[in-house]
Amino acid sequence: MEDWEAWRTLLAVARTGRLSAAAALLGVDATTAGRRVRRLEADLGRPLLGRAGGLLVPTQACRDLLPGLETAERALREAGAALRRDPESPDGPGWRVVRVTAVAVLCDHLLAPAMPRLVADRPALGLELIAEDRNLSLTRREADLAVRLGPLSAPHAGAREIGRLDYGVYAAAGAAAPERLPWAALDAAQGHLPEVRHAERQAGRPGPRHRASRLETLRRLALAGGVRSVLPDVMAARDSRLQRLGNGPAVSRPVYLIGHPEDAEAPAVRAVAAWIEGLFAGPAGPAEAGPPLALRAAAR
């Protein structure tokens, strides 16, 4: 156990099935991740990973090791959490912080507005919202829970679909002939996203006339007038300065909640996970005034 980074890498590969995905979670390159695993295999004198269906899968020797590695990972995490909770510690705030990572639009327009309901009767609970579009490392404990829009780039054992996020086509309220306005979309680097593909199909061969790197910038372009854009309803539906064009969602994306299986019984994490799922299942959405958000619970 002298090289914990190598063992963490093995855990990440076992959980993701790919060196590249594990490396991305750990913030290293795939060459480094592969070298760490090979060093472990050389030290132990036996293979720890094999290939099946294009994925790296644990060998029996690795499966025998995993429970102990997960116990060690959990013990290190709990030691850090205990220090944060310790009121005698100069860094201890005296409450249990649960870290949640999500794309910025969900942090800003779904999770943050609903936070008072979560903590109203939980004085010992703190919430850290990390607005980040990249897949922050759950393996490395950069976050306790992740809310991700599908499709997921890699399978994750702790992922479950909790609902859907609808998108509509929006233009400035009162715009004349909004169905004839030019399109604005996210930039080409995000061309793989369903909402970008929809705008590009609708714009036809010339493509969208205007581009932006952030959804918030795209929303401001629509507010300024002269364009139409595909925006999440959770961001745009309550803004009286915007009008939604057409019936039904232009795009609907699944929403996944991802956590650590070993946290399933942790009261604070369970409470936050249930709160997030309830935002999709509940009829009213966040505790701000306005019409219900276009969030839909996953089919059970």
- Residue 234: closest CA among 253, 261, 221: 253
| Confidence (pTM) | 0.66
The torsion angles phi and psi of 224, rounded to 5 degrees, stand at -65, -20
Render each residue's pLDDT in the chain as its tens digit; 300 residues: 457 889 989 998 998 898 988 888 888 888 999 999 999 999 999 999 999 888 899 999 999 998 888 888 877 777 766 655 554 444 555 568 899 999 999 999 999 999 999 998 888 888 999 987 654 445 445 678 999 998 887 666 678 899 999 999 999 999 999 999 999 999 988 999 999 999 999 999 999 999 999 999 999 999 999 999 999 999 999 999 999 999 889 999 999 999 877 777 788 899 999 999 999 875 444 434 333 455 666 654
- Residue 198: closest CA among 120, 251, 255: 251
Q: Mind listing the domains of the chain with CATH numbers? A: 4-85 (1.10.10.10), 96-164+253-297 (3.40.190.10)
